[in-house]
Amino acid sequence: MRVKSAQEFLDDSGVEWLSFQFVCYGFHPKGFVRSLPQISSPLLQGRKVHVMLHELWIGAAKNSTFKDRLTGWLQKYYILRWLRALQPRLVHTSNSAYRQLLARENMVAHELPLFGNIPVDPGNGQWINAELSRLGVSAGTRGEFWILGLFGGIPTEWQCAALLERLLPMAEKQKKKVIFASIGRHGPGDIVLTAAEEPFRGRMQFLRLGPQTESRVSEFLAAVDFGVATVPWSLFGKSGAAAAMLDHGLPVIVNRNDVQFDVPAPPAVNPRVILLDENFERRLLAAERQVPSSSRAKVAAALCDALEQAAQ
């Protein structure tokens, strides 16, 4: 019924392009998209097809378990079968690891960055300033602090303590007090943040703000000094939260490198992306905020240009 309704809508609208925004677990609880060719076939009707692969199959990382590798093998089989049935004019993904994994399967994909999942709308800062004032932050004392900001979900694999152990001696050397502030729903990984609070509580302060409106999240991102990304560096490009931090002008700390594929890792060419490596201190101290600016229009223009070229 849904496929028929979608087909009628497409016919009535005169749509020339179909763009599939793909996450395999959105179609099946185990990511087995076996029925996708049959579902999507009636919708094509000679239309041009674009696919944005937000995720691929699991089990491709070097340290994957046997179960994940087996599950991923089946996921990959069905995903590639669907893509070959679609014969898309254009395939995008958000990061170089996925692009290279697809290339191994003779599937040409191009990288299209994500724009932030929070619109840039910081307001006047009244709400976040009131929250920070409870921790001693004011207009007169603001320069005494480094405020780290974490937004959104936290994977259970994320190592908060490792980041703080590296950062705090640097802050002490720079005579900075540290506040670790978080906002949004963190999911199962919230226990990681909770576990880090007790051993570090005497050396720094924590601020939990919980779920908030988009405008308040934007206000929060505009107020902190550094964003903290909880995704691994190899998959940094697929994080809408990390993109939101960059859109808000933040330098972003990435302290995970535990998911590695048998493909070259992307270089950290953006001076606002700070990896937890031998250059961490130098890059952190050199990083500067930029004026907040949404990348939505830039990404949309890049997609339109790519579609125009693919249509020729």
Q: Provide the token pair at 222.
A: 């505009």
Q: Are residues 98 and 164 in the same domain?
A: no
CA distance 197 to 156: 15
Q: Are residues 150 and 202 in the same domain?
A: yes
Q: If you ran DSSP here, which 8-state letter would residue 106 be given?
A: T
In angstroms, the Cα distances linking 302 to 110, 309, 310 are 11, 11, 12
Q: Are residues 139 and 174 in the same domain?
A: yes
Q: Are residues 23 and 147 in the same domain?
A: no
**Range of 43's domain?**
2-113+299-311
Q: Kindly report the number of other CB atoms within 10 A of residue 242's CB atom.
A: 26
Strands 205-208 and 226-229: unpaired
Is 120 inside a domain boundary? no
Q: Are residues 259 and 306 in the same domain?
A: no
Is 119 inside a domain boundary? no
Q: Are residues 255 and 165 in the same domain?
A: yes
Q: Are residues 92 and 143 in the same domain?
A: no
Crossing angle of helices 214-223/126-133, nearest 10°? Answer: 60
CA distance 259 to 251: 22
- Domain tally, the chain: 2
Is 211 inside a domain boundary? yes
Q: Are residues 285 and 158 in the same domain?
A: yes
- The beta-strand segments (E) located in 143-299 are 145-151, 177-183, 205-208, 226-229, 252-254, 273-275
Read off the pLDDT of residues 155-185 as tens digits, 9 standing for 90 and up: 999 999 999 999 999 999 999 999 999 999 9
**Alpha-carbon dihedral angle through residues 43, 46, 50, 51, given to the nearest 10 degrees:** 50
Read off the pLDDT of residues 1-39 as tens digits, 9 standing for 90 and up: 678 888 888 888 888 899 999 999 988 999 999 988 888
Is 15 inside a domain boundary? yes
Query: Cβ(158)–Cβ(190) under 8 Å?
Result: no
CA distance 161 to 178: 14
Q: Are residues 145 and 203 in the same domain?
A: yes
Q: Are residues 44 and 190 in the same domain?
A: no
Q: Which residues contact 106 (CB under 8 A, 6 or more apart)?
A: none
Is 121 inside a domain boundary? no
Q: Are residues 242 and 190 in the same domain?
A: yes
pTM value? 0.90
- Per-residue pLDDT in tens (0 to 9) along the chain, 312 residues: 678 888 888 888 888 899 999 999 988 999 999 988 888 888 888 889 999 999 999 999 988 999 999 999 999 999 999 999 999 999 999 999 999 999 999 999 999 999 999 999 888 889 999 999 999 999 999 999 999 999 988 999 999 999 999 999 999 999 999 999 999 999 888 898 899 888 998 899 999 999 999 999 999 999 999 999 999 999 999 999 999 999 999 999 999 888 888 888 777 778 899 999 999 999 999 999 999 999 999 999 999 999 999 988
Q: Are residues 226 and 253 in the same domain?
A: yes
